[in-house]
Amino acid sequence: MKKLVLLTSVSLLLSCQSIKQFNEGLSQPIPVDKLQSDVDFSYKKLKQLHPKLYWYISKEKLDFKFDSLKESIKKPMTGLAFYKELSQVVKTIGQGHLGISPSLEKLSKKEQKLLKKKGKSAFSQFDFEYIENKLFITKNRSRFQINEMTEVVAINNEKPADLIPIFEKRIASDGYNTTFFNRYLGKSFGAFYTLDKGKMQDSIKLLLKLDDKDSLFVVKRDTFGTNSKEDKIKLSKKETKEKAKFNSKYGFNKETKTFTRELKFIENDSTTALMTIKQFNNGNSHDFYEESFNKLSVANTKNLIIDLRNNPGGRLFEIGDLYGYLANEPFVFIDDYEVVSRTSKLHVDYFKGGGPVVKFFKILGAPFFYSINYFKVRKEDDKYLFSTKYSKISQPKPNNFKGKVYVLINGGSFSASSVISSNLKSTKRAFFVGEETGGAYNGTVAAQMPMVQLPNSKVNLRIGLALVSANGKTDIEGRGIFPDKEINPTIEDRKNNIDPELNWILNDIKREKEVEELLKEPSKEPSKEPSKK
């Protein structure tokens, strides 16, 4: 027992020392030769893993950009400073899933517990939107009385209009798309601010415009709202199980206290339904879609509006499942994955996550996992392809929706949102309203995305291993799904809680209903009176 206690103590001590050394290293300038080595290492890994590296930029131009960055490094710099330079080169590849970030300070388990007790971080207490070159708070979860659509004048004395263009230089959309940036940067403003500073913000100074006056708020970590009254109510085992099942089906988000998926009828007669999907992730989506389309079938719903605005994507199986309810004929959902080589799929983070028991079973399953992922890759001409169940012919669901489908999209509709939208657009199954999607029509490089850490700067690259593309294609390369009716909301729309995109659809449904009613009316022929002599 004494030996076990001693061994545990030594292990904790070494862990703390390791974390301390790592954190101290983040602030130390890195020699020029090591930074240049990291430039070479990053490009080597990209060529080794990324299947569409030269889709939107030629090899000659990308070679030149990496060489130029290497030559421009004349003096030592920190990993954070190096990230800010390297990210601008990686951006030119034009792949939105190709993530790059600096390493942030690590915390010991003790520090993590203390931080958790302090409550939510400053930025996580708000949702933001960047519109017409201004940043607004769209959701307030702090203890301060701040209304929705309150303008943020400054964060720690820095203006959002000055920060957003800086952040934009470090991230890519898919291809040549531009609608992605403001939507994504506004929604994820806190995350990008953290990356820019290289440190989590436990407190921030927000200068807000309230009643035409600038008011300063100092927002700190806070436990406010973390434990609702509902959470404190004791439930029976059966009630707890039912609640967990309900939360999983609708994708309950503990942080924001909202649901990921929702279905509601707009008209009293159930002719029109609105399905809102905030992301294709989180919980048991299969039960949600099965339940929802059964409801639509029973209600004899004629119009389905699917809201994918600001949906960043998620799971392939979820969008494949949903599409089965929207298709009216056999379909192939995506093409076979395209990868760099037979060994590409062997680079996935197979052992990442899970406790000791999970890792034990992963070790047992590793030979099968790696064998399957190697031998399933085949070569056709000059491409390496990997087939999935979604690249084979599928049948529509038995209770598939047969009415009219509208889809709401904007620049924040990305990844999986764009894949399902591509299918709906190419088959003319839906009418799109809003703004060009941030994700490309012809596919994106994602699927498994292992993290590669550069050895000297500790900058992280998240590299997609496979090209995921819908079966339908467009001739317009490097752009998203264009709406059939383009509508962009204004600040006034947001402030007045007006949804111009949704309103246009509802009016369009109303117009079509009026036309149908007119066509149903019997034609009135002129009366034939006997001629008078």
- Distance, CA of 504 to CA of 407 (rounded, Å): 12
Structural domain includes residue 14: no
Cβ count within 10 A of residue 131? 19
Structural domain includes residue 420: yes
Q: What pLDDT is stored for residue 363 in this prediction?
A: 86
Q: Do 213 and 243 reside in the same domain of the chain?
A: no
Q: What pLDDT is stored for residue 12 in this prediction?
A: 45
Tens of each residue's pLDDT in the chain, 533 residues: 554 444 444 444 445 668 888 888 888 999 999 999 999 999 999 999 999 999 999 999 999 999 999 999 999 999 999 999 999 999 999 999 999 999 999 888 888 898 889 899 999 999 999 999 999 999 999 999 999 999 999 999 999 999 999 999 999 999 999 999 999 999 999 999 999 999 888 899 999 999 889 999 999 999 887 665 555 567 788 888 889 999 999 999 988 889 999 999 997 889 999 999 999 999 999 999 999 999 999 999 999 999 999 999 999 999 999 999 999 999 999 999 999 999 888 888 777 777 788 788 888 888 888 888 888 899 998 999 999 999 999 999 999 999 999 999 999 999 999 999 999 999 999 999 999 999 999 999 998 899 999 999 999 999 999 999 999 999 999 999 999 999 999 999 999 999 999 999 999 999 988 887 888 776 555 555 555 44
Q: Do 143 and 201 reside in the same domain of the chain?
A: yes
Q: Do 249 and 130 reside in the same domain of the chain?
A: no
Q: What pLDDT is stored for residue 233 in this prediction?
A: 67
Could you list the residue range(s) of the whole structural domain that residue 206 is in?
114-220
Q: Do 443 and 375 reside in the same domain of the chain?
A: yes
Structural domain includes residue 55: no
Q: Do 122 and 215 reside in the same domain of the chain?
A: yes
Look up residue 303 and give its amino acid: N
Report strand pairing: 303-307 vs 272-277.
parallel
The CATH number of the domain where 346 resides is what? Answer: 3.90.226.10
Q: What pLDDT is stored for residue 346 in this prediction?
A: 84
- Distance, CA of 157 to CA of 153 (rounded, Å): 9
Q: What pLDDT is stored for residue 4 in this prediction?
A: 42
Structural domain includes residue 456: no
Structural domain includes residue 11: no
Report strand pairing: 451-453 vs 460-462.
antiparallel
E-strand spans in 45-183?
Answer: 99-101, 126-131, 134-140, 150-155
Structural domain includes residue 232: no
Q: Do 442 and 399 reside in the same domain of the chain?
A: yes
442-451: b or e for each residue (b if 16 or more CB lie within 10 Å)? bbbbbbbbbe
Collapsing DSSP to helix, strand or coil, 13 comes out as helix
Q: Do 272 and 200 reside in the same domain of the chain?
A: no
Rg of the chain in Å (alpha carbons): 27
DSSP one-letter string for 393-424: -BPPPTT---SEEEEEE-TT--THHHHHHHHH
Q: Do 211 and 258 reside in the same domain of the chain?
A: no
**N-terminal to C-terminal alpha carbon distance within the chain:** 125
Structural domain includes residue 69: no
Asked whether 342 and 374 are in contact (CB, 8 A), the reply is yes
Q: What is the Cα 260 distance to its own chain's centre?
A: 12
Q: Do 317 and 354 reside in the same domain of the chain?
A: yes
Of 199, 108, 206, 106, nearest to 154 by C-alpha is: 206
> Which residue, of 168, 191, 220, is where some domain finishes?
220
> Which residue, of 190, 220, 250, is where some domain finishes?
220
The CATH number of the domain where 185 resides is what? Answer: 2.30.42.10
Non-local CB neighbours of 33 within 8 Å, separated by 6+ positions: none
Q: What pLDDT is stored for residue 349 in this prediction?
A: 77
Q: What pLDDT is stored for residue 392 in this prediction?
A: 96
Domain count, the chain: 2
Structural domain includes residue 268: yes
Q: Do 166 and 264 reside in the same domain of the chain?
A: no
Non-local CB neighbours of 464 within 8 Å, separated by 6+ positions: 50, 95, 97, 98, 444, 445, 446, 447, 448, 449
Q: Do 179 and 266 reside in the same domain of the chain?
A: no
Q: Do 417 and 477 reside in the same domain of the chain?
A: yes
Q: Is 340 exposed, middle or buried (0-12, 13-18, 19+ CB in 10 A)?
A: buried
475 phi and psi angles, rounded to 5 deg: -80, -15
Q: What is the Cα 416 distance to its own chain's centre?
A: 8
